[in-house]
Amino acid sequence: MLWSKTFVGSWLRRRFVAQWCSIHYIPDRAVLWRAIRPDSVYKKDGSIKPAFFRDRRGRHYSCDIAAFSTREQSRRGYADPPAWNRDEAGLVEFSTGDVRNCSTTGGPDVNHAPVRNARVVNYSHAQFSRELTGEEEEAMAKQNARIVIKPSL
């Protein structure tokens, strides 16, 4: 019910945000968003560079759950003040299922990880459960993710 596009779903989501509840399972159909800079796309064809999906610091890759965010908010980022030029950012979309099935042996899981600190308040924040391998990065960039708002090159 939490993920449905009905009035009840919307009301439930608002309650979850208000009470800062943690979501234990994100279904495969849940859409994820992440802002993209012009430096992360190939200039020739506008496709995504594999490095866009890399985060091997142990903190793992960040994204926003679309059901709890808006395109414009995710595109411009939640950090205040921003450390980048928000106007040139684009938006990339992929699903939780895309992440879980990005390789034949199975990709990482996606976990809800809301952030609330002095600079960032982002309930929709989620993270991959592990880092992607080089081939998984390629698969995500080439097959699974798509750009819904183009960054200004």
Nearer to other proteins, 29 or 58 (CB): 58
Nearer to other proteins, 2 or 32 (CB): 32
Least CB distance from residue 56 to other proteins, whole Å?
A: 5
Separation between Cα atoms, residue 63 and residue 92, nearest integer Å: 10
Least CB distance from residue 8 to other proteins, whole Å?
A: 31
Separation between Cα atoms, residue 43 and residue 25, nearest integer Å: 37
Which residue ranges make up the site for other proteins (CB under 8 A)? 34-35, 37, 39-40, 42, 44, 49-52, 54-57, 59, 61-62, 76-77, 79, 82-84, 86, 89, 133-135, 138
Q: Give alpha helix (H) positions in 30-139.
A: 71-76, 96-100, 134-139
User: Which long-range CB contacts under 8 A does 69-73 form with residues at least 24 apart?
Assistant: 69/33, 69/122, 69/124, 71/33, 71/148, 71/149
Nearer to other proteins, 71 or 76 (CB): 76
Nearer to other proteins, 82 or 106 (CB): 82
